[in-house]
Amino acid sequence: MESILLYDTTLRDGTQGEKINFTAQDKLKIARKLDELGIHYIEGGWPGASAKDWEFFQMAAKEPFEHARMAAFGSTHKNGVAPKDDVHLKAILESAAQVGTVVGKSWDLHVNKILGVPMEENLEMIRNSVAYLKDNGIEVHYDAEHFFDGYKENPEYAAQTIEAAVKGGADAVVLCDTNGGALPHEIEEIIRDISAVIEKTADRPMHIGIHTHNDSNLAVANSITAVRAGATVVQGTINGYGERCGNADLTSIIPILKLKMGHPCVSDENLAKLQKVSLFVSETANMTPVNSRPFVGKSAFTHKGGLHVDAIMKESRSYEHIDPELVGNKRRVLISDMAGKGNIKYKARELGFPVDENGYDYAEIVNTVKRLEQEGYQYDVADGSLRILMEKLTDQFKPCFDLESFRVTVEKEKDRPCYSNALIKINVDGIEEITAAEGHGPVSALDNSLRKALNNVYRNVLDPVHLVDFKVRVLDGRGGTGSKVRVLIDSRDEEAIWSTIGVSEDIIEASWQALADSFQYKLAKVTNGSD
């Protein structure tokens, strides 16, 4: 089976996504992770258009990448400017990247109305730009922008733009569904047509690449279809980040290619790093991970219904299309009012609790969970609190700290935003810790104060832990401002995300319950040596 080359454009096209902004140092960290994953090409950015991207390439040139070749992006030379004088082409060469990726117009609409040059002149710009980079001794990929739209409206001209790149000496011609509107059957038909054009034009082996966007929710499907039609270079981004609806998601494409289609695009060892890379990129981008993301999402291999759990305990593939560990993920079983004994039995086994040996049976734990859920708890979305609850129910809970008391004050002064202070007293192994801290709100003040107290005992353990989501829900609004509320907190460190819950008529108390569980969960992992 032919190996497929993976081309990652997270650092360039991915940064066009809303709210995503990487520093040059961020890009270098991500590039290292992509190299460890086994990505073949890393597109670092547009050195001729961004000082930050230029800085990145200067740093990347000193990095000993093991797998990846660094690609610098740029456009064809301007009309009336010789390639050797074009700032974008010169920047590609001066970036010291091994690969130059040059984008050009394939749709006559863009040539006539956007670029505003004669159609024949556009062909010369493509051919000359590619030839200039090739003459300077680097690998060249040509990105045919809006290719599928262009081919559907004017197939003859779109094909001529590809011929121009081939004649210029391109090593790979990448067909781009820039607007994300193409359908899989169109992708397949057009790639087969262009393959025939390239075969007639080229006097050497060449790669055909695919670059898709997700505006029709088909970016992954279109990329896979392109491979079936003969594409051997697949462009995409980690987590599908990108402009509008995003780019093709490599966290789905990679396991599909390797596990379902038999293309050895990465090693088994590297494939198992996929979820960690996904989390690292989302963390660096300051984006909340999508739990439902296939393969790498927290919910991708999660089971809730009792019948499903009973089945996977007998035969995992009865409700799972792959082994989650192949992509670095893990199976999760949720405990809720829909849970049966099978859910509890699986969860106890997963968490290492000898339930029966402690005088508890599965039915009692099920009943306890269901009773608490009647009171407003929701353990299917709070695995961290569930673990602590099950430890308590099996006499295995060893608190890393005990609350003695806390006091929170909120002050508002004229022409100044509200600010909060928290004074907290906890007990750690018989030692009393009393600390105070400010915060932007009462929960922030509690968080800061508790961290301050715990850091006196657990040095630096909580430094990488931070809150990524905070949700409050009124459970029954008939009580007005005195109604019971549920607080859900998502916390994370460099390796994992966990969720905790609190329920009370007092929002501060509910927040404290969730916050305390979050820290208990993290500290227990460290002190037990499982982190």
Encode pLDDT of 452-461 as tens digits.
999 888 888 8
**β-strand partners of 337:** none
Q: What is the mean pLDDT of residues 283-299?
A: 92
Which backbone phi and psi does 34 adopt, to 5 degrees? -65, -40
Q: What 3-state class would DSSP assign to 419?
A: strand
- The predicted structure's pLDDT at residue 233: 98
- Helix 383-393 crosses helix 507-527 at what angle (to 10 degrees)? 70
Residues 405-441 have pLDDT tens digits of 999 999 888 887 888 999 999 999 888 999 999 998 8
Domain 402-527: give its CATH code: 3.30.160.270
Single-letter code of the amino acid located at 166? V
Q: What is the mean pLDDT of residues 183-198?
A: 97
- Contact status, residue 127 vs residue 168, Cβ threshold 8 Å: yes
Q: Which residue has the tokens 């270098």?
A: 28
Token reading at 144: 């045919």
- Contact status, residue 390 vs residue 353, Cβ threshold 8 Å: yes
d(CA 464, CA 487): 22
Q: Which residues contact 438 (CB under 8 A, 6 or more apart)?
A: 419, 420, 421, 422, 445, 448
Q: In degrees to the nearest 10, what's the CA dihedral of 52, 53, 58, 64?
A: 120
Q: What is the mean pLDDT of residues 148-167?
A: 98
CB atoms near residue 268 (< 10 Å):
10
Domain with CATH 3.30.160.270 in the chain: 402-527
Token reading at 223: 């990329």
* 246 φ/ψ sector (left φ>0, alpha ψ -120 to 50, else beta): left
Residues 28-54 have pLDDT tens digits of 999 999 999 999 999 999 999 999 999
- Contact status, residue 209 vs residue 141, Cβ threshold 8 Å: yes
Integer-rounded Cα Rg, in Å, for the chain is 28
For residue 530, what is the DSSP state? -
- Contact status, residue 230 vs residue 208, Cβ threshold 8 Å: yes
Reported as a pLDDT band with limits 50, 70 and 90, residue 522 is: very high
- The predicted structure's pLDDT at residue 312: 77
d(CA 28, CA 16): 17
Asked: is 5-284 a CATH 3.20.20.70 domain? The reply is yes
- The predicted structure's pLDDT at residue 429: 87
- The predicted structure's pLDDT at residue 497: 85
For residue 457, what is the DSSP state? T
Where do runs of H (alpha helix) occur along 456-528?
507-527
Token reading at 50: 């961004």
- Contact status, residue 502 vs residue 512, Cβ threshold 8 Å: yes
Closest CA to 129 of 160, 156, 101: 101
Reported as a pLDDT band with limits 50, 70 and 90, residue 478 is: low
Residues 347-367 have pLDDT tens digits of 777 766 656 655 666 777 778
Closest CA to 46 of 35, 58, 54, 55: 54
d(CA 408, CA 470): 19
Residues 372-405 have pLDDT tens digits of 888 888 887 788 898 898 888 888 889 999 999 9
d(CA 526, CA 47): 43
d(CA 454, CA 401): 8
For residue 19, what is the DSSP state? T
d(CA 300, CA 455): 35
Q: What is the mean pLDDT of residues 98-122?
A: 96
Residues 222-278 have pLDDT tens digits of 999 999 999 999 999 999 999 999 999 999 999 999 999 999 999 999 999 999 999
Q: Which of 121-125, 144-148, 489-493 has the lowest average pLDDT?
A: 489-493
- Contact status, residue 56 vs residue 83, Cβ threshold 8 Å: no
Residues 483-510 have pLDDT tens digits of 789 999 999 887 788 999 999 999 999 9
Token reading at 402: 């005990």
Mean pLDDT of the chain: 91
Closest CA to 382 of 301, 296, 503, 509: 503
Domain with CATH 3.20.20.70 in the chain: 5-284
Reported as a pLDDT band with limits 50, 70 and 90, residue 482 is: low
Single-letter code of the amino acid located at 218? L
d(CA 110, CA 117): 9
pTM: 0.76
Q: For residues 390 and 206, which has the higher predicted lDDT (pLDDT)? A: 206
- What percent of the chain clears pLDDT 70, i.e. is strictly above it? 93
Q: For residues 316 and 197, which has the higher predicted lDDT (pLDDT)? A: 197
- The predicted structure's pLDDT at residue 89: 97
Residues 328-349 have pLDDT tens digits of 998 887 776 666 667 777 777 7
Token reading at 230: 């003969």
The end-to-end CA distance of the chain, in Å, is: 39
**β-strand partners of 321:** none
Token reading at 326: 């192949």
d(CA 202, CA 14): 32
d(CA 434, CA 30): 40
| Helix/strand number for the chain, H first, E second | 18, 16
